[in-house]
Chains A and B, each alone.
Chain A
C-alpha cells in the first residue's frame, strides 16, 4: 500500500511540473469550466484532495480611467461593458446575471451567504483562454458600485440611442416663395416629425426605456424675429383657412424685409425641444435639454405694391 501511495505521489508530482498549454475555448462540454492556471487547478497526491481555492472577490466593477477600462495586464484597453459578457469586474473578469439559473440545494449551501440578498452571475474571464463559471455575489457588494449599473446610467445609454427626427416644417405662404412684410405666416412642424420616440438600453439585469416627447418649437429668424410655439403649430388648409388671418397657435408676421441679409434671406433655425422620460428597473426619471433642429432660410420682401393699407389705398 505504501509503495502504491508513493508511486501515486511521484506521478502527481510529475504532473504538477507540466507546463499547461493555454488553448482557446473548446467546444467540448468542459469548455471554459476546465481549470485554468492558478485557479482550481491543484492536483493532489494520495487521497487528501485539493485544498480549497480562494475565489477572487470581484466586489465592484472596474473603475474606468479616462473613459477606458484596462485588462488584467493593466495596460490593454478593454471594454468596460461587453454586449455578450456583461460588466467588467475589478478582478478582470466579466459578469452578467445568470438568467434563469436555479441553484441546487447543494449549491445554495456551498456558495450563498444565508440571509444575504445576492444574485447568481455568469463570470467570464478572458485571457489566453476563456473560462466561464457561475458565481453568487451579494448584492451589497455589487450594488454599491456600478455593477450592475444604476438604472440612471443605463437610462443615459438609452437616451444616447434615441434618434430624434429632424423637424419637417411647413409654412404658408410657402417657405419657397418670398414672404411679405405685414402678411401673417403660418408655421408648423409636420406630424411625422412630431411624436414620441423611444429607445431601450439593456445591460445584464437592467433594462431601461427612454421616451422622448416633443414639447415646444422655436422658430428663430434672426433679425426677422423669434417665435416660441407650445405645440407643433397648425397646418394651413387652402380654401378653408383665411390667409389674411394669422395662425391660431404658431405664426409670425414679419415687420422687416430680409433684403440686408446674406443671400437676401433670413436664416431660420427651427428647434424642437423634447422632454425625455425613462423607466426601468423599478425607477423613473426625466432628462431635459434634448433638441432636434433644422436650419433653413426664408426671404421676406417689403413689397409695397402688395401691402394693403387699412384705408385700402396703396402705399
Chain B
C-alpha cells in the first residue's frame, strides 16, 4: 500500500488507479484526498518513509481475513516539494504512529482503515 502511495505521491496524480490496488474503504478515501490536496497545492512528495509494520491481531477464526497492523512510520525523508524543487515548508518530518486494518479478499489484502497520528506519537 505504501509503495503505491509513494509512487503516486511522487507526481501527485491523485486519480491514478494504482492507489486502489492495495487500499480500499476509508483508507482508500483518505489516501485519495491526501494526494489530491498535494495536487491542489502544486507539490509532490519525494523520497520514501521508513516503515516497519507489525501484525498485532489476525482474525476472526476460521477465516482469518482481517488483521490489524501497527507501525511507527518515519517521514524524515518523505517530504513535500514545490515545483521549484524546494521543500514545501521547513517543518521536518518525523515519526507517526499508524494503525491499519487490512482485509483479505481471495489472495489480495487491502488496507481498509488507516489512522495516522500526529508527529512524535511513537
- Establish whether residues A11 and B117, one from each chain, have CB atoms under 8 Å apart when the complex forms: no
Contact B119 A107 (CB under 8 A): no
Compute how far the CA of A17 lies from the CA of B83 in the bound complex, rounded to whole angstroms: 41
Interface contact A8-B119, CB-CB below 8 Å: no
A33-B33, A100-B40 given; A49·B113 CB < 8 A: yes
Contacts of A46 in B (CB 8 A): 57, 59, 68
Say yes or no: is B70 at the interface (Cβ < 8 Å to chain A). yes
> Is A36 within 8 A of B118, CB to CB?
yes
How many whole Å from B46's CB to the nearest CB in chain A?
10
User: Is B36 part of the binding interface, using a Cβ–Cβ cutoff of 8 Å?
Assistant: yes
Whether A27 and B68, one on each chain, are in contact in the complex, defined by CB atoms closer than 8 angstroms, is no
Which residues of B sit under 8 angstroms from A98, Cβ to Cβ?
A: 36, 40
Of chain A, the residue at the smallest CB distance from B100 is A49
Chain A residues with CB under 8 Å of B24's CB are 106
Question: B33-91: which have CB < 8 Å to A?
Answer: 33-38, 40, 45, 49, 56-61, 66-68, 70, 75, 78-80, 87-91
Report which of A5, A21, A100, A134 forms a contact with B118, defined as CB distance below 8 A.
A21
A102 to B39, CA, bound (A): 12
Q: Interface digits, B97-109 against A, CB 8 Å rule (1 contact, 0 not)? A: 1010100000000
Report whether A26 and B94 are in contact in the complex, using a CB–CB cutoff of 8 Å.
Answer: yes
The answer on a CB contact under 8 Å between A50 and B15 is no
Residues of A within 8 A of B30 (CB): 33
Instruction: Give the number of residues in A that approach B within 8 Å (Cβ atoms).
Output: 51
Assess A40 versus B92: contact at CB under 8 Å? Given A30-B34, A132-B37, A134-B33: no
Q: From B68, which residue of chain A is reached at the shortest CB distance?
A: A47
Please state if B97 and A27 are interface contacts (CB–CB under 8 Å): no
Task: Contact check, A25 vs B68: say whether CB atoms are below 8 A apart.
Answer: no
Tell me whether chain B's interface is mostly helix, strand or loop, or mixed: mixed
Residue of B nearest to A33 (CB): B34
- List chain A residues, Cβ under 8 A from B70: 11-12, 15
**B116-A33 in contact (CB<8A):** yes
Q: How large is the interface on B (under 10, 10 to 19, 20 to 34, 35 or more residues)?
A: 35 or more
Tell me which residues across on chain B come within 8 A of A15, comparing CB atoms.
70, 97, 99
- Nearest chain B CB to A292 CB, angstrom units: 41
Contact partner, B119, options A21, A41, A45, A134, Cβ 8 Å: A21
Instruction: Determine if B91 and A25 form an interchain contact, defined as CB atoms under 8 angstroms apart.
Output: yes
For residues 231 through 272 of chain A, which have their beta carbon under 8 Å from a beta carbon of chain B? none
State whether A49 touches B112 (Cβ < 8 A).
Answer: yes
**Complex interface: chain B residues within 8 A of A26 (CB):** 75, 91-94, 119
Give the complex CA separation of A42 and B113 in angstroms: 11
Question: Does B91 contact A29, Cβ atoms closer than 8 Å?
Answer: no
Interface contact A122-B37, CB-CB below 8 Å: yes
Q: Is A43 an interface residue (CB 8 A)?
A: yes
> Among B26, B66, B119, which residue has the most Cβ atoms of chain A within 10 A?
B119
List the B side residues contacting A33 at CB < 8 Å. 30, 33-34, 37, 116
Neighbour of B40 across the interface among A30, A99, A106, CB < 8 A: A99
Given contact pairs A43-B99, A133-B33, A20 touches B91 in the complex (Cβ within 8 A): no
Q: A1-B61, A49-B66 are in contact. List 8 more A-B contacts (CB 8 A).
A: A11-B70, A15-B97, A29-B45, A29-B80, A31-B38, A35-B118, A98-B36, A129-B118
16 contacting pairs across A/B (C-beta < 8 A): A12-B70, A20-B117, A21-B120, A23-B94, A26-B91, A27-B92, A29-B75, A42-B115, A44-B99, A46-B59, A49-B101, A50-B115, A100-B40, A101-B40, A102-B15, A133-B33
The 3 A-B pairs with the shortest beta carbon distances in the complex, nearest first, are A28-B75, A47-B66, A8-B56
A interface, CB within 8 angstroms of B: 1, 4-5, 7-8, 11-12, 15, 18, 20-36, 40-47, 49-50, 98-102, 104, 106-107, 110-111, 122, 129, 132-134
